[in-house]
């Protein structure tokens, strides 16, 4: 009996000292001085009207982000990123807490579904969870003057997955390029993106192609999947007698 008790005590001590995945994540977050886990959202959108004031869009988003941060109090990670405003489209990279990014996606859904909203088409390119660090220390926007006399259709033999990966790689390279610049020069770097690094900006024909893709989620579709319960009923759960499982699950 004493031997059994000793074994149980040894197992308890061993379990107490075991490092879990949560311990690793929390320790990494502490080492990075992060208040919570960071996430990244990238989405594309098309203006509902060509008369949309592109110059007013940046200040509008600044106001929205301040309101979103205020509504979440001082907890969580504030949003940083870059908003690129094209002639008819926008590309928006946002980094912050999951709560704040979801709040922005819900706002996007309203902007797209409302006939008076800013956008007529919106697609979520990616939501990356628990990113190791920020690419952007602040939130910035730039109005681009890229114009095409005639927007030709983007043609490719690659899959939509490949095009998405290539687009995200381009945007991550853009963020890395900006992050490497001295802080005193970053404003000038952002102002000269078209002249100095046009290869790091998504082309408008690619944006149109991605917006027309059926494989990418709209904000509404993303929210539907996000808000759906995880306790999915399997076909096997509807049969009788219930199958015996070696490892039962809830």
pLDDT at 248: 53
Both tokens of 1, joined, read 């009996």
pLDDT at 49: 83
pLDDT at 123: 96
pLDDT at 202: 94
H-helix or E-strand spanning residue 194: helix 193-196
pLDDT at 149: 47
Spatial contact of 113 and 130, defined as CB atoms under 8 Å apart: no
pLDDT at 75: 54
The class of domain 31-149+156-222 in CATH terms is: alpha beta
pLDDT (tens, 9 = 90+) of the chain, 250 residues, equals 555 445 544 554 445 456 677 776 666 665 555 556 899 999 999 998 877 778 888 998 898 888 877 776 545 578 999 999 998 999 999 999 888 899 899 989 988 888 778 899 999 999 999 898 899 989 999 999 876 545 567 878 889 999 999 999 999 999 999 999 998 889 999 999 999 999 999 999 999 999 999 999 999 999 998 887 766 666 666 666 666 655 555 5
User: Which residues are CB-contacts of 108 (< 8 A; sequence separation ≥ 6)?
Assistant: 43, 45, 119, 122, 219
pLDDT at 226: 87
Both tokens of 175, joined, read 């963020």
Residue with tokens 């956008």: 119
pLDDT at 209: 93
CB-count exposure of residue 217 (10 Å: 0-12, 13-18, 19+): buried
pLDDT at 8: 43
């Amino acid at each position: 009996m004493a031997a059994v008790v000793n074994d149980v005590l040894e197992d308890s001590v061993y379990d107490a000292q075991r490092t879990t995945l949560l311990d690793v994540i929390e320790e990494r977050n502490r080492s990075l001085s992060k208040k919570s886990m960071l996430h990244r959202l990238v989405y594309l959108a098309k203006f509902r009207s060509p008369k949309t004031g592109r110059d007013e869009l940046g200040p509008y988003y600044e106001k929205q982000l301040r309101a979103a941060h205020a509504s979440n109090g001082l907890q969580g990670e504030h949003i940083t990123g870059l908003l690129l405003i094209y002639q008819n489209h926008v590309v928006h990279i946002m980094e912050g807490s999951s709560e704040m990014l979801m709040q922005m996606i819900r706002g996007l859904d309203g902007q797209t579904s409302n006939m008076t909203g800013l956008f007529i088409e919106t697609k979520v390119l990616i939501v990356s969870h628990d990113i190791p660090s920020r690419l952007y220390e602040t939130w910035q926007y730039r109005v681009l003057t890229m114009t095409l006399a005639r927007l030709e259709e983007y043609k490719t033999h690659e899959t939509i997955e490949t095009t998405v990966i290539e687009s995200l790689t381009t945007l991550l390279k853009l963020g890395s390029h900006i992050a490497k610049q001295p802080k005193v020069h970053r404003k000038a770097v952002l102002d000269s993106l078209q002249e100095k690094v046009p290869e790091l900006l998504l082309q408008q024909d690619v944006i149109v192609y991605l917006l027309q893709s059926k494989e990418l989620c709209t904000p509404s579709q993303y929210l539907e999947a996000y808000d759906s319960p995880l306790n999915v009923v399997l076909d096997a759960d509807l049969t009788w007698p219930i199958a015996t499982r070696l490892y039962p699950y809830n």
